[in-house]
């Protein structure tokens, strides 16, 4: 018994085959491409058992008596009919009044707005059998998943933005995040554009943040969307986050409209712009995450964004609450036609990254690499001044940059710590990706946190390692 029965003209086999292949990622789909035997017998057998009928209308389909007969049978059986329009042909009577999905501009991708709409319509009639699986890469983003961005900021770090970007370029960091706040012409460091351009030439991915983190921490109320647009002019980058709506409406659908509008507004700053979804604040303290998963999914759906971001600090008080919130967001995102990566802002702690990856997050950014020092043996963060206790680890690093920095008098203490941390994060990111795709996240966490802590998180967050 098929979930979805596809009705089409044989003249449209090429496009229909692509539609069927993509739908089969989520449902059991029947169509007559491989039909053997009596045509009428097979239709009478398969169609009554189907839960939904997708009709691929075209000029050829409209002329086909067989297509019309199949649609009529489906209608008489009470099977929900979802029309797909391949061209501008008028649908035959009495089906012209049905709500159709416009595929006239469809490019064959499962990320296209038309295909996403089709999946949403089918999902209201038939539950998916298999949720989307995290891919190894996000093709439209040119990113491996999961991934860790090394952030750059002027706020409370051991390296000023220009020195941080230079260190990332010298080390060969593959993914970096830099704040638009620090790129406004009046305070833009001389030479930083050349550094960013070189990082991209070397194959690195440059993501620009809205700058609201720095503005909020500095209590700078003068930072506006217009200044964000000005700061973005001439900045080499791959993608940028929109100027986020920091205080969204408590009404979920209103919040969705606010965020979508912000994204559209900021396309003036970058044609490749991504949404950030914030949770509304509670009256006394904390954040209301009850409707956050719905808002995240709706923003992703309505904007066709290839990635959507949330702030870790807003997901809950502790890591257990935050993991549960990420699980709920992932469950909502998995209702979309294809896998949609979730980015967690402000997450550089290795334990948190691993736990939230297991919960369903895919991308992270953090300043820990230029604020703290990592102990490779325990995967724990320590005060920057305690690098003396871990310098021997840097001498055993895989990166020749990290090793040579230890004995280079031209590299200051802060630089040596940074290169030590960068070497750790590169290895950590590679191990994390391997564990995630091999579905070994529980074993990975045991190796990081120990059995007792892993057992605690497993019992506290049901389904974390499912």
Identify the band that residue 162 occupies on the pLDDT scale cut at 50, 70 and 90: very high
How far apart are the two ends of the chain, measured CA to CA in Å? 27
User: Is residue 34's pLDDT more than 70?
Assistant: no
Instruction: Report the C-alpha gap between 241 and 275 in whole angstroms.
Output: 6
351-389, pLDDT tens digit by residue?
A: 999 999 999 999 999 999 999 999 999 999 999 999 999
Place of tokens 């993501």: 207
Q: Which helix (H) or strand (E) holds 205?
A: strand 205-209
DSSP per-residue codes, 76-99: HTT--EEEEESSSPPPPTTSTTS-
User: Is residue 37's pLDDT more than 70?
Assistant: no
Question: Are domains 4-123 and 137-460 of this chain identical in fold?
Answer: no
- Candidates 3.40.50.10140, 3.40.50.1000, 3.40.640.10, 3.40.1440.10; correct CATH number of 4-123? 3.40.50.10140
* C-alpha Rg value of the chain to the nearest Å: 26
Report the b/e string of 64-74 with b at 16+ CB within 10 A. Answer: beebbebbebb
Outline where DSSP puts E strands in 109-204: 137-138, 143-144, 147-152, 175-179
User: Is residue 348's pLDDT more than 80?
Assistant: yes
Top-tier CATH class for 137-460: alpha beta
Cα dihedral angle (183, 340, 257, 248), rounded to 10 degrees? -60
Sign, CA torsion 384/389/393/399: positive
275-332, pLDDT tens digit by residue?
A: 999 999 998 888 999 999 999 999 998 998 999 999 999 999 999 999 999 999 999 9
Outline where DSSP puts E strands in 107-196: 137-138, 143-144, 147-152, 175-179
Identify the band that residue 466 occupies on the pLDDT scale cut at 50, 70 and 90: confident
Instruction: Report the C-alpha gap between 256 and 300 in whole angstroms.
Output: 10
378-435, pLDDT tens digit by residue?
A: 999 999 999 999 999 999 999 999 999 999 999 999 999 999 999 999 999 999 999 9
Q: For residue 284, how many other CB atoms are within 10 A of its CB?
A: 5
pTM: 0.83
Return the domain boundaries, the chain. Answer: 4-123, 137-460
Instruction: Report the C-alpha gap between 405 and 150 in whole angstroms.
Output: 19
pLDDT at 127: 78
pLDDT at 187: 95
């Amino acid at each position: 018994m098929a979930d979805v029965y596809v009705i089409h003209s044989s003249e449209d086999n090429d496009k229909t085959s692509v539609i069927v292949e993509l739908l089969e990622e989520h449902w059991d789909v029947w169509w007559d491409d491989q039909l053997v035997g009596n045509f009428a017998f097979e239709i009478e057998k398969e169609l009554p058992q189907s839960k939904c009928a997708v009709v691929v209308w075209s000029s050829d389909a409209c002329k086909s008596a067989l297509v019309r007969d199949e649609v009529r049978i489906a209608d008489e059986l009470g099977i929900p009919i979802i029309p797909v329009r391949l061209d501008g042909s008028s649908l035959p009577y009495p089906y012209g009044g049905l709500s159709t999905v416009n595929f006239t501009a469809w490019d064959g991708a499962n990320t296209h707005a038309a295909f996403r709409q089709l999946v949403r319509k089918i999902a209201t009639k038939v539950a998916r059998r298999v949720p989307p699986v995290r891919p190894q890469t996000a093709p439209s983003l040119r990113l491996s998943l999961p991934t860790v961005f090394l952030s750059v900021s002027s706020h409370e770090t051991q390296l000023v933005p220009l020195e941080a970007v230079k260190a990332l370029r010298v080390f060969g960091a593959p993914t970096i995040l830099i704040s638009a706040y620090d790129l406004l012409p009046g305070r833009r460091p001389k030479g930083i554009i050349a550094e960013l351009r070189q990082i991209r030439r070397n194959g690195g991915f440059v993501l620009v943040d809205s700058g609201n983190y720095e503005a909020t921490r500095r209590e700078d109320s003068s930072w506006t969307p217009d200044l964000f647009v000005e700061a973005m002019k001439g900045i080499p980058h791959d993608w940028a986050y929109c100027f986020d709506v920091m205080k969204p409406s408590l009404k979920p659908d209103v919040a969705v409209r606010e965020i979508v509008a912000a994204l559209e507004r900021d396309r003036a700053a970058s044609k490749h712009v991504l949404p950030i979804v914030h949770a509304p604040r509670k009256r006394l303290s904390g954040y209301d995450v009850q409707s956050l998963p719905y808002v995240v999914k709706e923003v992703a759906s309505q904007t066709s964004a290839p990635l959507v971001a949330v702030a870790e600090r807003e997901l809950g008080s502790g890591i257990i609450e935050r993991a549960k919130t990420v699980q709920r967001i992932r469950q909502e995102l998995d209702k979309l036609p294809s896998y949609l990566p979730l980015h967690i802002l402000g997450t550089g702690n290795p334990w948190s990254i691993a736990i939230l990856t297991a919960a369903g997050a895919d991308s992270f950014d953090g300043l820990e690499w230029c604020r703290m020092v990592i102990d490779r043996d325990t995967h724990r963060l320590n005060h920057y001044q305690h690098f003396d206790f871990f310098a021997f680890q840097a001498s055993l690093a895989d990166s020749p940059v990290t090793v040579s920095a230890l004995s280079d008098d031209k590299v200051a203490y802060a630089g040596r710590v940074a290169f030590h941390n960068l070497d750790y994060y590169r290895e950590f990111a590679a191990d994390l990706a391997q564990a995630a795709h091999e579905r070994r996240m529980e074993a990975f966490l045991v190796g990081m946190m120990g059995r007792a802590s892993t057992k605690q998180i497993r019992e506290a967050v049901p389904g974390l390692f499912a």
